[in-house]
Structure 1
Amino acid sequence: MRIALLLLPVLSLAACAVGPDYQTPAAPAPAALPSPPPLRDQALLAGRDIPADWWALFKSPALDGLVREAMAHNADVAAAQAALRMARENALANAGAFLPTIDGSFQASRQKDPTGTVAPTAANNAPQLNLFTPQLSVSYSPDLWGGTRRGQEALEATVEAQRFQVEATYLTLTSNVVVAAVAEASLRGQIAAAQAIVDDAGRAVAILRRQRDLGQVSAADVAAGEAALAQAEQALPPLEKQLEQQRHQLNALLGRMPADPTPETFQLADLTLPVELPYSVPVRLVEQRPDIRLAAANLHVASADVGVAIADRLPNLTLSGATGSSASALNSLFAAGNGFWNFGATVTQPIFDGFSLAHKEKAARAALDQAAAQYRGAVVLAFQNVADTLSALKADGDALAAAERADAAASHALALARRQRELGSVAASAVLAAQQAAAQARTTLVQAQAVRLMDTAALFQALGGGWWNVAPVEAGAAPGHAAPPDGGLITR
């Protein structure tokens, strides 16, 4: 009791913790985001929440299936989940530092004393003896300056950081799958347009050859038609190569090998453009973006590390004790006179270490400044992503409208050229030129449609992807997430 009373003032110091107390950074002002521009055929809805499975808004069952397969089998997701489990276990392991350490030991030995030099030490004066010693040791280091708590705070913040790293991995993966599917659909549309040119050019050359045989056109006209056909055929191989590579990329996102079959195919007609788009205010954006939350958690880690570095420079108290028994026979281990115990306290104060601890504290403070700058950079980048995507969507709508007008005009011009050719009022080269213009206009239209779909997906990614709307589940997959090996991703 007297020892406990003497230690009370010392143990009361454990109520404090050196170093800065972490404060969540303030959200940017509403003026940080520009006013949303008006969009063609799409509406920005301020305050509209994003669903967890936001890719379902494209209304493609095949796309929805691929996204869920990617979340279940992608290697980056599996690695992020394993890192989260590792961070969680490290935090749980470190929590043991708040409790005493208790060790049990049992030592058994047989020895012979040198009777010619010293007297036997055994109670029966025998030179040979057995010695059995069971012992229980206890040690405890009170957290006088809060260094242990700051270390635990850093580890728990690391768990939070890794949790948002998992969410960021999911968001990046789902966005990449959507963009890969749209890119495939775009390439198929471009290949279809290029193939239409080849087919038209082939039919034109066949007609020209018949007309040459009848003496209606010259050999030069046939040569011009054949040159146009060869030029059209040159456009197909690069597009087919891109399509094949796009399929390989999609397989990689799904965790498949390049040679694995990929029965799913995508056409632009299979994808619906979402017409109602969410628009978050700055306060909500910093809460929604996983990369911002990750940067905030890293800032928390750096703040706690400063406290750890300060505590390392202060005195450290260790309380230790042991109790046990020692006897020459097992049946007398607990006999009177064979027991022993000890209790002690050790105070350690670093005096000179070549200024290592001082420099470590300065390094921890510099790391805190670095984390604060990285957090600001993450916020700036996030707001830039949203602003850039909104500008892109406005430009995409205008570009698509222009491409639709150009496609309609080129198709009309081609129809007129064909009609005039049938009447003999224009040369075959004019029809070929009209065909090429129409095909180029159709390719531009396909590309404009695909870019608008991709930038719509980019907006969902820039706003955070709706991960916070994943419903909690019991040992299974959330609606928007595949079940990880440990029985459930962090859900809210």
Structure 2
Amino acid sequence: MRILCLALAASLTACAVGPDYQRPSLPEGVSAPVFKEGADWKPAAPGSVDAVQPWWTAFGDSRLNGLVDEANRANQDVRVAEAQYREAQALVQNARSALFPTLTANASVNRGQSQTVLGSKLGDSHAWSLQAGWEADIWGRARRAIEGASDNAQASEADLAAARLAIQAEVVSDYILLRVADTQQQLYARTVEAYRKSLQITQSQYRGGVATRADVELANTTLQSTQAQAIDIELARRQAEHAIAVLLGRTPAGFSIAPDSFALTLPQVPAVVPSELLERRPDIAAAERRVASANAGIGVAQAARYPTLALTAAGGFSGAGFGPWFATPDRVWALGAALAGTIFDGGLRASQVEQSRAVFDASAATYRKTVLSGFQEVEDNLAALSLIAEERGVQDGAVRSARNAERVTLSQFRAGTAPYLAVITAQALALNNERTALQLQGRQYAASVALIKAIGGGWDTSQLQAASGASPMTPSAAASGPVASTNE
């Protein structure tokens, strides 16, 4: 009992070996007041981008909302991430089990014959026992293992949030492509009808001797090439529809979205400062938690250098038949303590410590790289939103001019004062400019989606279980509770 009490006191008061975790140093610019491309990025009425108000609803399309909600529930990549998170939670409990004693039970029944002076004797023997064993965590090896497993569980939880965010963004992006294709099809339908009327006019003029056979063939060529382009737009739409079906966990054969006009609202994304990005991006949070786990691994490796103290206890009964089991002579018990340590291992434990430090350094470098990549994505999409908006303004002016030129040239052609080649040129110019304007609109909305994803959508590190207020030696609560749901 004295040995047991001393071991308990030692394990409860001992310090865990290894360095306490500190977040790695970050690249310059993290504490900047604004992003480089976001100096003038101050929307007047920014929409809500948080977990309470799912970010995709800011596009104002109920059909899109239903698609994203279904993807959150049924996407296979999300289910993989959920399973990996549950696995990480189980590993936390595995690590925690090292703090508690193990208790095993044994029971046996034997029947045998033995020789005595009186002759052979046939008899039964019965035995049962309980054995308990416990290894005192004097050097904090088990606690460091719990710390590392908890950090890994939090990283896995952030991976789950990142998987959800990626799927949500992909569904929204594919839906935008599909609606842009719908609008392009409407444009081509109007253009094909206009070209068909131009062909009829040219044929009438040819019969009247005003136009040449070359004009008729040119009008027919223009009509057919535009019809071919419309078919290519249909291919792009179908592929976008198929991609959405797979994201929703469905087969493309049983899924369809009815054509509709482009009626999405461009969301106003709230501005964030660079330092907030560290808390808003799940991939950055996951990388940082893996650094913390690697830091705990150093403590686990260092604790292996020190001896272990194991306490054992056993008790039970053994005898012939069931009657004597509780008789004093048949009772058995044992208590023991073992102190074991490696004297020489050829540098094995030292190399394991160095290996753990190398893993920590690699994790820290990965974390810094993830931060830099996150900053680049935000800057890229801020620049894209700003410049595409400017480009759309110029392009809209080009569309208006091209439409006016087409209308004037067509009137002159009908009056016989302009050749058909001028009409074809004006019509092609108008079509190209309108198609470019639609493509720019799609790119602008896609950049908006990419920016929302780049700033973490509606996620932040407060959603990690036991992420706030946890000291380096406090086990995470990630092993208990349901799977967290992000942006649902």
**Aligned-pair CA distance for 1:243:** 1.1
Q: Secondary structure at the match of 2:269?
A: strand
Could you report, residue by residue, the CA deviation over 1:40-81 in whole angstroms, capped at 9, with x for unpaired residues?
A: xx82779x8623311111111111111111111111111111
Given the alignment, which residue of 261, 274, 287 partners 2:279? 287
Alignment partner of 1:318 is 2:320: no
Cα shift at 1:471: 9.7
CA offsets, 1:266-321, max 9 Å, x none? 532x20112x3211112221111101110011111111111111112221111111
Alignment partner, residue 29 of structure 1 = 31
User: Would you say 1:362 and 2:354 are equivalent positions?
Assistant: yes
Deviation at 1:6, TM superposition (A): 5.6
Aligned pair count reads: 466
Distance of aligned partners of 1:29 and 1:468 in 2 relative to their CA distance in 1, 3 Å threshold: closer
Mapped to 1, the partners of 2:164 and 2:260 lie a distance apart of 22
Give 1:136's aligned residue: 130
**TM-score relative to the length of structure 1:** 0.88
Distance apart, 1:470 and its partner CA = 10
Number of the residue aligned with 2:94: 93
Matched, 1:441 2:433: yes
Identity of aligned residues (%): 30
**Match of residue 273 from structure 1:** 266
Instruction: Provide the alpha-carbon RMSD of the alignment.
Output: 2.5
Is 355-364 or 104-113 further displaced after alignment?
355-364
C-alpha displacement of 1:424: 1.3
Q: How far 1:329 moved relative to its partner?
A: 1.5
Q: CA deviation at 1:351?
A: 3.0
The correspondence for 1:489, drawn from 478, 484, 488, is 484
In structure 2, the residue corresponding to 1:215 is in which secondary structure? coil
Unaligned runs of 5+ in 1: 473-485
2:340 equivalent in structure 1:
348
- State the match for 1:477 in structure 2: none
Aligned to 2:468: none
Show the counterpart of 1:300.
292
Partner of 2:320: 328
Residue 444 of structure 2 is matched in structure 1 by 452
Change (3 A) 1:357 1:113: farther
Q: How does 1:242-257 map to 2 (within 5 A)?
A: 242-257=236-251
Measured at CA, do residues 160 and 2 of structure 1 come closer, stay the same or move farther in structure 2, by a change above 3 Å? closer
TM norm structure 2: 0.89
Structure 1 residues 471 and 372 mapped into 2: Cα distance closer, same or farther (>3 Å)?
closer
- State the distance in 2 between where 1:4 and 1:422 align: 106
Question: Is this contact kept in 2: 1:197–1:436, CA < 8 A?
Answer: no
Q: Distance in 2 between matches of 1:148 and 1:229?
A: 76
- Whole-angstrom distance in 2 between the partners of 1:468 and 1:31: 19
Distance (Å, rounded) in 1 between the aligned partners of 2:356 and 2:258? 51
State how far apart, in whole Å, the 1-side matches of 2:462 and 2:283 are: 18
Partners in 2 of 1:189 and 1:231 — Cα distance?
A: 19
- Measured in 1, the distance between the counterparts of 2:7 and 2:151 equals 32
Q: Deviation of residue 350 (structure 1)?
A: 1.9
Q: Paired residue for 1:232, among 198, 219, 226?
A: 226
Structure 2 stretches lacking a partner, 5+ long: 465-480
Partner of 2:372: 380
CA distance in 2, matches of 1:89, 1:412: 68
- Whether the 8 Å CA contact 1:36–1:44 is kept in 2: the answer is no
Runs of 4+ in 1 over 6 A off after TM superposition: 469-472
Match of 1:277, SS?
Answer: coil
Q: Distance in 2 between matches of 1:45 and 1:140?
A: 61
* Equivalence for 2:194: 200
- Offset at residue 488 of structure 1 (A): 5.3
Deviations 1:197-226 (A, max 9, x none): 322222212221122122222212212222
**For the residues of structure 1 that align with 2:423 and 2:19, how far apart are their CA atoms?**
77
Question: Shift in Å at residue 22 of structure 1?
Answer: 1.2
CA–CA distance in 2 between the matches of 1:204 and 1:38?
48
| Equivalent position of 1:110 in the other structure | 111
